[in-house]
């Protein structure tokens, strides 16, 4: 008997202990923290002496502690008691609700008037609204005057089989077709309507990214651009995720930020269909140079001429893109630290650009020719000469300027039956008469003439 009593006592103590453990575990599992609070309305108009109850939502809906405290910043204008607002005097007050769990806040501006301001009209922000089946659009109602005391409105749809509307003006497509959404003011029953056209949903069939592999330095950023197909898909919204936020994080807009060295995969997912595409992001301490090129690899300059060589270092996001310059023959061609090439004297030289990182090179051959002085004119000392038949004379035209580079000329007789002229300007009288000899410079095509009288 005593043994049974001891057994019974032991079992009772064990059950009590287990109950405490289970209750403790249940309490931990059921303690769901508050993450936010929001009011259904952010602005309210009241007559002095009237009351209005503010509706609010605590998130998540299954939070454990739903207790809130209330406060008015101007109790001479409006007071609040457990969400019930009372208009006291003319003016504006801010009503604030604060969650006991987490201290999250929501505010509502309350305008209190002494005399009631009646509604004159209501207008919707759209005359026509297009939505897809199972998708929503929002209509906004504007009350005139803006300081009307009672701005409450109700919403209705003419055909709930085509589209529905919430108390906030959110219109949801039900099936293809057309219907009207009507808004009605509580004060004086003023109305406005909007034609709603519901069309079939165009599903997403694919998604691509602007790049699928990239390398970044720590703290560097770049934006991934998604392309959803088809272009007329109803819902093109996407979400972003990084496989390692410690290496690279991504914002809701696809902005990638490199955090620490390593590799992370950025994944974009379509809301419709949950189709995905990825980009591998490699985060490094430095990005090495892999090559260098020059915009010109061969050119010819006149002595005294200049031009600038432009190097392109790859990749474009290399950490150290600095370069050095060198000429193989500075007596012929020089180059400065910015790639400015100057021709000094006739000859040829090779300009070499070298990357600081990796000592990669590219070259340009520069050929230098002597500078030229252009011909500006040609003249004869006399306008005419006289010769006897069979006599000869060598004409000597004057080329200007005297230091012109190319003084070569060509000769021509207007009438070779009277007088001829050879390539050296030697004129031979052939028969009695008169003719004109013309000299033309090779450089510039300048001309001069002289009359030859043969006796």
d(CA 74, CA 55): 20
Our measurement of the distance from residue 374's CA atom to the centroid of its chain's CA atoms, rounded to an integer in Å, reads 52
Q: What pTM was estimated for this model as a whole?
A: 0.50
> Measured between alpha carbons, how far is residue 82 from residues 41, 85, 89, 181, 394 in Å?
16, 8, 20, 35, 123
pLDDT of residue 389: 94
With tokens 């009605």, the residue in question is 184
φ/ψ bin of 134: left (φ > 0), alpha (ψ from -120 to 50), beta (otherwise): left
pLDDT of residue 114: 85
- Average pLDDT per consecutive 10 residues, the chain (455 residues; last block may be shorter): 46 47 45 92 88 92 93 94 92 94 93 89 97 95 91 95 96 97 96 97 96 92 96 95 96 96 97 96 92 96 93 92 96 96 95 97 94 91 94 95 92 96 96 96 95 95
d(CA 374, CA 406): 7
Closest to 375 in 3D by CA, of 436, 442, 451, 425 = 442
Per DSSP, which regions of 51-203 are E strands? 51-53, 56-59, 68-72, 78-81, 84-87, 91-99, 105-113, 121-124, 128-132, 136-138, 141-144, 153-157, 163-165, 170-173, 177-185, 191-199
pLDDT of residue 29: 52
Per the CB < 8 A criterion, the answer to whether 278 and 267 are in contact is: yes
Write the CB contacts of 278 (distance below 8 Å, at least 6 apart in sequence): 209, 212, 265, 266, 267, 268
């Amino acid at each position: 008997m005593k043994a049974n009593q001891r057994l019974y006592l032991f079992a009772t103590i064990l059950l009590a202990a287990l109950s405490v453990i289970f209750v403790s575990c249940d309490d931990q599992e059921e303690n769901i923290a508050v993450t936010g609070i929001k009011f259904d309305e952010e602005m309210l108009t009241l007559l002095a002496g009237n009351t209005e109850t503010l509706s609010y939502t605590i998130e998540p809906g299954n939070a454990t502690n739903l207790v809130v405290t209330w406060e008015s910043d101007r109790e001479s204008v409006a007071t609040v008691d457990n969400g019930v607002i009372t208009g006291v005097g003319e003016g504006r007050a801010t009503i604030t609700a604060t969650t006991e769990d987490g201290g999250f806040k929501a505010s509502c501006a309350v305008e209190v008037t002494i005399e009631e301001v009646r509604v004159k009209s209501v207008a919707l922000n759209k005359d026509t609204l297009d939505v897809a089946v199972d998708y929503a659009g929002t209509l906004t109602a504007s009350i005139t005057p803006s300081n009307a005391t009672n701005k409450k409105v109700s919403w209705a749809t003419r055909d709930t089989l085509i589209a529905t509307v919430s108390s906030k003006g959110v219109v949801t497509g039900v099936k293809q077709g057309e219907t009207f959404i009507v808004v009605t003011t509580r004060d004086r029953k003023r109305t406005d309507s909007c034609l709603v056209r519901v069309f079939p949903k165009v599903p997403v069939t694919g998604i691509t990214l602007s790049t699928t592999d990239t390398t970044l330095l720590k703290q560097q950023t770049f934006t991934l651009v998604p392309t959803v197909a088809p272009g007329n898909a109803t819902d093109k919204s996407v979400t972003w995720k990084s496989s390692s936020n410690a290496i690279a994080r991504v914002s809701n807009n696809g902005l990638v930020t490199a955090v620490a060295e390593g590799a992370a995969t950025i994944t974009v997912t379509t809301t419709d269909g949950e189709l995905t595409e990825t980009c591998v992001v490699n985060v490094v301490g430095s990005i090495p140079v892999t090559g260098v090129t020059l915009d010109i690899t061969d050119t010819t300059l006149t002595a005294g001429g200049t031009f600038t060589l432009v190097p392109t270092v790859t990749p474009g996001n290399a950490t150290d893109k600095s370069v050095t310059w060198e000429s193989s023959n500075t007596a012929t061609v020089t180059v400065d630290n910015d790639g400015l090439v100057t021709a000094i004297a006739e000859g040829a030289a090779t300009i070499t650009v070298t990357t600081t990182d990796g000592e990669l090179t590219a070259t340009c051959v520069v050929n230098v020719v002597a500078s030229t002085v252009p011909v500006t004119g040609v003249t004869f000392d006399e306008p005419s000469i006289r010769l006897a038949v069979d006599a000869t004379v060598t004409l000597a035209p004057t080329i200007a300027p005297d230091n012109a580079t190319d003084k070569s000329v060509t000769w021509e007789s207007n009438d070779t039956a009277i007088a001829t002229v050879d390539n050296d300007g030697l004129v031979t009288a052939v028969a009695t008469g008169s003719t004109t000899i013309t000299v033309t410079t090779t450089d510039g095509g300048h001309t001069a003439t002289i009359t030859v009288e043969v006796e």
